[in-house]
């Protein structure tokens, strides 16, 4: 295992964050904390598409994704580099050593690019895993078993109950033993600003893509779009007095067509109807959007804990095909949300929360999300302080 090397005070510790899609960028608060410290030099490494999805993204599409990401990080004021380039019509996966990192943060675990895996990177940098999502259901196959999770030097975790779950899940399996309980940076901004009144009073609808029970893999069917997608659009059209935000999962539209739920024309029409009545959000810079909202309607896993940090009402759409029960670490918080299993329940809750602006579950929800560790800020500072001490040693 590579050890951190003490660096002269005149040299900053270079940190490279690997990001494949801007919708998965949840480390902005950590980036800014490192920048403020004067000790670190954070850089975003844009891989733009992971190896598993390479065949789905042409070189022309890759350039669009790259360019969009660069504009996004320019707007945030973040330094960035491309870690995947196209040369003579072929995709080239760059050796991360070219960027001279002391630390490499992996923010997702799927299909890592060649020459950029923890086994290769650990020869010259410390490797850290910080998931792009705040833990939701605690699936071992998602949270623990992937290569990047098993081989990274440190895994930064939300809380002790999650560490216990991960260690229990990984008994008798090759895995790192360096779990650090820090909280998640994605919650920092939400917790720090949750008391600020939402001027825009948005109601956000954020549908997930995993809504088809016909899928061969039924291990993750949390989406409810098949019964809720049109119902919520029709409700929104009848209530133009509400300041709506439509925030679909980035691949929802493609899955609607792939699953045969809608034709290309019907999918275009669905999205166009939302564009006519709502603000449409598709990138990862949505913390302020959450703070400017008064309620969230979603079946998307990672938004359940994230939005819980605002203290505001969550309307959780539940799929009848989802046999997953959140672990103890999350279950109490999720059970404190408003739950809709069908259109009838949904309409009743929408009238209560959206139309009448009532929130009878407020106190029990705040107690539950606090107990789950979702109201603790300063994860970014904890991670930064921990890494400082590592290099000081």
Q: What are the boundaries of each domain within the chain?
A: 13-189+376-392, 195-371
pTM: 0.85
Give the model's confidence band at 100: pLDDT under 50 very low, under 70 low, under 90 confident, else very high.
Answer: very high
Closest residue by Cα to residue 120 from 144, 96, 85, 103: 96
Strands (E) located in the chain:
13-19, 40-46, 80-82, 84-87, 90-93, 103-106, 126-129, 154-157, 179-181, 202-206, 243-246, 278-280, 293-298, 314-317, 338-340
- Spell out the CATH class of 195-371: alpha beta
Check residue 54 and give its pLDDT: 59
Q: Which of 214, 42, 205, 188 is nearest to 128 (CA)?
A: 42
Percent of the chain residues past pLDDT 70, beyond the cut: 91
The torsion region of residue 378 among left (phi > 0), alpha (psi -120 to 50) and beta comes to left
Residue 51 has pLDDT above 60, yes or no: no
pLDDT at 22: 85
- Record the tokens describing residue 157, joined without a space: 């975790």
**Mean of the pLDDT values across residues 67-94?**
92
The predicted pLDDT at position 309 comes to 92
pLDDT, average across residues 293-304: 92
Q: What is the pLDDT of residues 112-131, one digit of tens each?
A: 888 899 989 999 999 999 99
Q: How confident is the model at residue 76 (pLDDT cuts 50, 70, 90)?
A: very high
Residue for token digits 């679909």?
248
Q: Say whether pLDDT at 103 is over 90.
A: yes
Please name the residues in contact with 171: beta carbons below 8 A apart, sequence gap of 6 or more.
none
Looking at the chain, the whole-number percentage of residues with pLDDT higher than 90 is 58
Tokens representing 270 are 């669905």
Tokens of 214: 């016909």
Residue 175's pLDDT band, with cuts at 50, 70 and 90, is low
> Using an 8 Å Cβ cutoff, are 306 and 290 in contact?
yes
CATH 3.40.50.2000 fits 13-189+376-392, yes or no: yes
216 — pLDDT class (breaks 50, 70, 90): low
Q: What is the pLDDT of residue 176?
A: 66
Domain pair 13-189+376-392 / 195-371, same fold: yes
State the DSSP code for 375: T
Higher model confidence: residue 161 or residue 298? 298
pLDDT tier at 222, thresholds 50, 70, 90: confident
Q: What is the mean pLDDT of residues 385-392?
A: 93
Three-class secondary structure of residue 14 per DSSP: strand
List of E strands, 107-213: 126-129, 154-157, 179-181, 202-206
Q: How far is CA 4 from CA 99, 102, 155, 255, in A?
A: 17, 8, 16, 43
Confidence (pLDDT) at 151: 87
**Average pLDDT of the residues of the chain:** 88
Whether the per-residue pLDDT at 91 is higher than 90: the answer is: no
Work out the average pLDDT over 59-82.
91
**Distance from first CA to last CA of the chain, Å, rounded?**
16
pLDDT category, 393, cuts 50, 70, 90? Answer: low
């Amino acid at each position: 295992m590579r050890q951190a090397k003490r660096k002269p005070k005149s040299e900053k510790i270079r940190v490279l964050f690997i990001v494949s899609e801007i919708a998965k960028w949840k480390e902005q608060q950590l980036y800014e904390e490192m920048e403020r410290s004067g000790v670190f030099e954070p850089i975003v490494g844009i891989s733009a598409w992971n190896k598993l999805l390479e065949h789905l993204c042409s070189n022309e599409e890759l350039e669009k994704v790259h360019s969009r990401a660069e504009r996004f990080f320019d707007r945030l004021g973040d330094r960035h580099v491309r870690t995947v380039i196209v040369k003579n019509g072929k995709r080239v996966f760059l050796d991360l050593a070219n960027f001279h990192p002391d630390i490499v943060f992996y923010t997702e675990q799927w299909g890592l690019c060649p020459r950029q895996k923890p086994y290769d990177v650990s020869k010259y940098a410390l490797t850290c895993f910080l998931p792009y999502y705040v833990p939701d259901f605690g699936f071992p196959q998602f949270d623990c078993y992937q290569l990047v999770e098993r081989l990274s030097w440190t895994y930064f975790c939300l809380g002790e109950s999650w560490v216990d779950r991960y260690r229990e899940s990984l008994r008798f399996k090759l895995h790192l033993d360096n779990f650090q309980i820090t909280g998640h940076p994605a919650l920092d901004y939400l917790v720090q600003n949750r008391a600020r009144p939402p001027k825009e009073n948005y109601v956000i609808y954020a549908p997930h893509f995993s809504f088809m029970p016909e899928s061969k893999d039924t291990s993750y069917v949390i989406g409810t779009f098949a019964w809720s997608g049109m119902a919520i659009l029709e409700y929104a059209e009848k209530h133009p007095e509400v300041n709506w935000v439509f925030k679909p999962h980035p691949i929802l539209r493609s899955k609607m067509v792939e699953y045969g739920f809608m034709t290309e024309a019907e999918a275009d029409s669905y999205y166009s109807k939302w564009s006519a009545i709502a603000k449409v959000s598709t990138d990862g810079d949505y913390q302020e959007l959450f703070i400017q909202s008064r309620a969230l309607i979603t079946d998307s896993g990672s938004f359940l804990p994230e939005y819980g940090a605002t203290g505001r009402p969550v309307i959780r759409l539940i799929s009848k095909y989802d046999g997953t029960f959140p672990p103890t670490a999350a279950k109490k918080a999720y059970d404190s949300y408003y739950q809709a299993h069908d259109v009838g329940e949904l309409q009743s809750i929408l009238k209560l929360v959206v139309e009448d602006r009532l929130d009878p579950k407020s106190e029990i929800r705040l107690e539950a999300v606090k107990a789950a560790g979702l109201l603790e800020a300063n994860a970014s500072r904890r991670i930064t302080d921990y890494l400082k001490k590592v290099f000081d040693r």
